[in-house]
Structure 1
């Protein structure tokens, strides 16, 4: 079973040769999906932690275990601060004012799996919309991790192919008036980035609803508990020992109410899984918000003349700029520098563009 699970994670672990998105995007469809599927695998792997619930009863144990697992258990609010038996004890009556009901733990493994699928949806949409366009544009020009401005130039045949026509074809492609197509390409990517951001917000809200309003402040409540010794949110949301009320017919034919103490070993995992997800979702929310900020061309052209870069940016559409930025993320830095300079030369040589550029800027450049 472990081997089969690792095979399912292979597409998320392996590195891609052509980078069509950014590292923040990868945190959504790689890191988060692996995290959620891993948690789901551990919770549903019965061979690791045995039965999900084990109740202390004298008779019909399997039936009562199943009954309490299906209909849920509860803990007492009045004894949550008890360091020995948090949430246990006796109460005059069991209602919403005196108890916390726990009837969601049986769905946690399934929910994690579904969440993993939802986090992958923006990636699936982008792969469908992108359709290998960037791979076609930079085929044979990919940069390696070792490439840098100080590194030796590419092999002669590689560099000659670039000189013989690849550079001119890219320049023509970027300036031949496909602005609307490039803008649509960019809007689709931006849509996926926004979906990632909205998805994180939605997942936080859903988790809060799922655990009856205890998730949105779960991490803060845990930190406060550690500092001030208040109610442990882990025992409040995911108790390891709970109470279950079931009914039976006594010897006299009357209905009897019985209590059972039930041990939930999986909540040892749930306590920590939800704490990890709380921190991860809020970190992901923050960096996803930052990711929707427009990327600057200068981030990829630090070694280029700034005025030349500005002229290129001012005379191409945002869609063209986005395509150019993505090319810069994938090609050898030396070749990318030449590409931007070739675009500059082509732009100032064209009458429509030339009129829009101040003469003083051209002289200084």
Structure 2
């Protein structure tokens, strides 16, 4: 329940920013999108019955039976461009059963949980440490909470001897998990749709759209049910069934295909950005210069060259949550603290 309660705050803006915009696309926009899809598919009052079968007697019972046991389509053995759906089990055609559409709303909810897992893990590791340190310092005006004691507290938090590198690497791990999650999502949906998801968006763009949609999400299917005949023996009956929700499913999966493809590229770029921060000190300097544009660059160079990657990670995130004037004053305070240590800055 604690895990699920975190979803309530997704639509709200975060008071304390401990991640980045690409990370938010994973745990916020993706989760809200999938939950919306799940709710829409389960809202019978808006889109009607999930299945409608053309039968005269015991219509409701037959529809429940066909929904639970699955319907099937008949695929012609002719080339793909002549793919059709028949009404009889004619010779020369093969059938395949559709068993996936009953559970798509639950699949979307499971995917939402998977998208949120890296965020949940990072929140657990972060433990609101940054929130406690910068609380009340992010407003447009200089807060009364900004005092010499508060300045010293934040300085000790960043520059103490604790190994902050582990803290920073944990965020990098969560970013890697975001990429792993995207790969897992594609495998899950490809398995769920029997290999039809990985190229779904590409096929929709490059092939005639009715053909692609009908091949993956058919709207007209068949269902075979049994009843007792006049002599007391079992009699097979065929019903033509319509699946109205597949009109939504085809659009939802198309949106997901393009969203995951775009998010995959953005996540790769974010990981390259993270690797450059970890491995290249000059890159950290450029980032800090962009964040504190009006601050003396020589002082920034001295600060960056004399703190670890983990300390830089904390300093940068503290700056994201501080009033710019307060952050500038704090950077100046950090510079003088490093200068007091007697470090040799002559080569910088």
Q: TM-score range by the shorter chain?
A: 0.7 to 0.9
> Aligned-pair distance for 1:334?
1.7
Name the residue aligned to 1:147: none
> Aligned-pair distance for 1:268?
1.1
Change (3 A) 1:310 1:232: farther
Change (3 A) 1:58 1:214: same
Change (3 A) 1:49 1:163: closer
1:122 aligns with 2:118: yes
Change (3 A) 1:82 1:246: farther
Is the 8 Å Cα contact of residues 143 and 333 (structure 1) preserved in structure 2? no
Query: What secondary structure does 1:205 align onto?
Result: helix
Change (3 A) 1:100 1:206: same
1:278 aligns with 2:274: no
Structure 1 runs (4+) deviating above 6 angstroms are none
Match of 2:224 among 241, 245, 252: 245
Measured in 2, the distance between the counterparts of 1:269 and 1:174 equals 50
Report which stretch shifted further, 37-46 or 299-308: 299-308
1:42 aligns with 2:36: no
Name the residue aligned to 2:203: 221
Name the residue aligned to 1:150: none
Q: Map 1:314-333; keep pairs closer than 5 Å.
A: 314-333=305-324
1:18 aligns with 2:21: no
1:338 aligns with 2:323: no
Name the residue aligned to 2:165: 183
The number of residues matched between the two structures is 330
The alignment's C-alpha RMSD in Å is: 2.6
Measured in 2, the distance between the counterparts of 1:256 and 1:301 equals 80
Q: Map 1:1-365; keep pairs closer than 5 Å.
A: 10-78=8-76, 86-93=84-91, 98-144=94-140, 154-155=141-142, 158=144, 162=146, 164-178=148-162, 180=163, 182-225=164-207, 229=208, 232-251=211-230, 255-292=234-271, 293-294=273-274, 295=277, 296=284, 297-298=287-288, 299-351=290-342, 353-354=343-344, 357=345, 359-361=346-348
Is the 8 Å Cα contact of residues 72 and 222 (structure 2) preserved in structure 1? yes
> Aligned-pair distance for 1:172?
3.2
Measured in 1, the distance between the counterparts of 2:266 and 2:63 equals 44
TM-score, with structure 1 as normaliser: 0.82
Query: What secondary structure does 1:113 align onto?
Result: helix
CA deviation string 1:21-75 (max 9, x = no partner): 2111211221111111111111111111222111112333223212221222222
Is the 8 Å Cα contact of residues 303 and 334 (structure 2) preserved in structure 1? yes
Q: What 5-or-longer segments of structure 1 have no aligned partner?
A: 1-6, 145-153
CA deviation string 1:261-292 (max 9, x = no partner): 10111111111111111111111222122222
CA deviation string 1:225-278 (max 9, x = no partner): 2xxx37622111111111223344544565544321101111111111111111
Query: What secondary structure does 1:162 align onto?
Result: coil
Measured in 1, the distance between the counterparts of 2:296 and 2:148 equals 25
TM-score, with structure 2 as normaliser: 0.86
Measured in 2, the distance between the counterparts of 1:290 and 1:324 equals 22
